[in-house]
């Protein structure tokens, strides 16, 4: 299949591994931001194929993992109401809140439905004018344009029984937080290809110049990641700190302009709490005040809360690349996909879930 087979070609992959072996002269620590890239690295054993001097650590780019407990609790509170149809991506249903999850709400009779796009929630709202339909709008810059389109369309149609519970997060402020940390080890970043497909990569050029750290916008197939790692190592070995684009088949420097236009009209930047990490300045989007009638937090009058994380879960260190899931004492014992303590074990994109699938022999052998 075009755009798949050639990026999973073992001959090309082997050549890139050999090239890397010739490039590396000293240890380097790289981070892939995106959870989808984490799973590719683990699934294809790329972390074990590349030279030992190149360590790849995993970043905070799993949208389900970083959605804060407080928002999950708000989702549970809204979904438990008898007048509500609560619509969400499937991953969010098993994410533990402070005392329950959306699956349990559904099991107890709540009308919780799974959708693949937010537009499905809009259709449900049109078909059920006597009910309040709420879509759980989580994720990075990637999912935000479609969510923005729904409220835009709902306002255009005067559809007042539809609203969004928004918890959008942005990648560049999270990278800035990592780079400002006194314990940061990361020397180069694989920037998330799908986020850059929407937003372009000018923000990463600012970060590269300011922190003298190289970035390579990377795709999601094994050859994409090997090539991105090779490009990063080349920059580091040569002392360069630029933004290069490995994922040119999907990403341009300026990104998707119509998507950015709708985002600007619907959302405004705000401080946002990241699960396990805490609040990061100007790292999220919230609905603009002119969309208050479609803002679930306003519609249901929900108040702000502060919920502590389970003390056993070290997801904060995992999401910042300071520790790996196998370093967590609860990994594969008290925490597994059947009994997750933290969101990185629940989500299909979570680092703990990736290690559980592909590396649990490291702790259970």
Residue 342 found at the interface with ligand SF4 (CB under 6 A):
yes
Residue 312 found at the interface with ligand SF4 (CB under 6 A):
yes
d(CA 334, CA 329): 8
Binding segment for ligand SF4 among 41-49, 168-176, 198-206, 311-319 (CB under 6 A)?
311-319
- The residues near 84 (Cβ < 8 Å, ≥ 6 apart) are 78, 110, 111, 131, 132, 133, 134
Residue 330 found at the interface with ligand SF4 (CB under 6 A):
yes
The residue behind tokens 């052998």 is: 365
Edge-to-edge, what's the strand order for the sheet holding 54-61? 54-61, 28-34, 188-192, 215-218, 243-245
Please check whether residue 202 is in contact with residue 172, taking contact to mean a CB–CB distance below 8 angstroms.
Answer: no
Residue 229 found at the interface with ligand SF4 (CB under 6 A):
no
CB-nearer residue toward ligand SF4: 269 or 317: 317
Residue 187 found at the interface with ligand SF4 (CB under 6 A):
no
Residue 315 found at the interface with ligand SF4 (CB under 6 A):
yes
With CB under 6 A, what is the number of residues at the site for ligand SF4? 15
CB-nearer residue toward ligand SF4: 217 or 313: 313
Please check whether residue 231 is in contact with residue 20, taking contact to mean a CB–CB distance below 8 angstroms.
Answer: no
The two tokens of residue 342 are 């933290």
Contact with ligand SF4 (CB under 6 A) among 24, 54, 296, 328: 328
d(CA 161, CA 285): 22
Residue 95 found at the interface with ligand SF4 (CB under 6 A):
no
Please check whether residue 101 is in contact with residue 71, taking contact to mean a CB–CB distance below 8 angstroms.
Answer: no
Q: Bridge partners of 85? A: 111, 133
Q: Bridge partners of 84? A: 132
Binding segment for ligand SF4 among 31-39, 139-147, 266-274, 330-338 (CB under 6 A)?
330-338
Contact with ligand SF4 (CB under 6 A) among 345, 347, 349, 354: 345
User: How far apart are CB 346 and ligand SF4 at their closest, in Å?
Assistant: 8
Binding segment for ligand SF4 among 55-63, 186-194, 267-275, 326-334 (CB under 6 A)?
326-334
CB-nearer residue toward ligand SF4: 60 or 344: 344
d(CA 344, CA 315): 7
Point out the residue whose Cβ comes nearest to ligand SF4.
Answer: 342
Residue 313 found at the interface with ligand SF4 (CB under 6 A):
yes
Binding segment for ligand SF4 among 52-60, 131-139, 152-160, 335-343 (CB under 6 A)?
335-343
d(CA 209, CA 40): 29
Contact with ligand SF4 (CB under 6 A) among 344, 347, 354, 359: 344
The two tokens of residue 291 are 């969309």
Residue 110 found at the interface with ligand SF4 (CB under 6 A):
no
d(CA 160, CA 267): 18
By CB under 6 A, name the binding residues for ligand SF4: 312-315, 318, 325, 328, 330-331, 335, 341-342, 344-345, 352
């Amino acid at each position: 299949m075009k755009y798949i087979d050639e990026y999973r070609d073992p001959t090309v992959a082997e050549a890139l591994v050999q090239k890397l072996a010739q490039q590396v002269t000293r240890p380097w620590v790289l981070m892939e931001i995106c959870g989808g890239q984490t799973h590719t690295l683990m699934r294809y054993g790329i972390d074990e194929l590349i030279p030992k001097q190149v360590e790849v650590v995993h970043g905070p780019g799993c949208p389900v993992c970083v959605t804060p407990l407080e928002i999950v609790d708000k989702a549970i509170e809204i979904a438990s109401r008898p007048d509500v149809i609560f619509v969400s991506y499937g991953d969010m249903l098993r994410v533990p809140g402070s005392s329950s999850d959306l699956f349990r709400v559904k099991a107890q009779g709540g009308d919780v439905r799974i959708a693949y796009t937010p537009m499905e929630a809009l259709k449900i709202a049109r078909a059920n004018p006597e009910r309040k339909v709420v879509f759980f709008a989580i994720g990075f810059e990637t999912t935000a344009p479609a969510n923005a389109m729904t409220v835009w369309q709902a306002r255009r149609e005067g559809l007042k029984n539809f609203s969004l519970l928004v918890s959008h997060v942005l990648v560049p402020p999270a990278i800035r937080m990592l780079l400002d940390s006194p314990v940061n080890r990361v020397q180069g970043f694989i920037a998330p290809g799908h986020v850059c497909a929407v937003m372009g990569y000018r923000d990463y050029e600012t970060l590269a110049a300011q922190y003298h750290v190289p970035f390579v916008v990377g795709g999601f197939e094994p050859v994409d990641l090997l090539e991105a790692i090779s490009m990063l190592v080349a920059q580091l070995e040569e002392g360069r700190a630029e933004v290069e684009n490995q994922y040119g088949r999907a990403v341009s420097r300026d990104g998707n302009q119509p998507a950015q236009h709708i985002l600007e009209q619907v959302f405004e930047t705000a401080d946002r709490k990241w699960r396990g990490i805490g609040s990061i300045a100007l790292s999220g989007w919230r609905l603009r005040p002119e969309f208050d009638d479609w803002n679930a937090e306003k519609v249901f009058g929900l108040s702000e809360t502060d919920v502590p994380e389970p003390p056993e879960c070290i997801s904060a260190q995992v999401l910042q690349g300071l520790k790996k899931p196998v370093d967590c004492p609860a990994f594969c014992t008290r925490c597994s996909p059947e009994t997750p303590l933290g969101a990185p074990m629940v989500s299909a994109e979570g680092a703990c879930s990736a290690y559980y699938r592909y590396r649990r022999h490291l702790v259970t052998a």
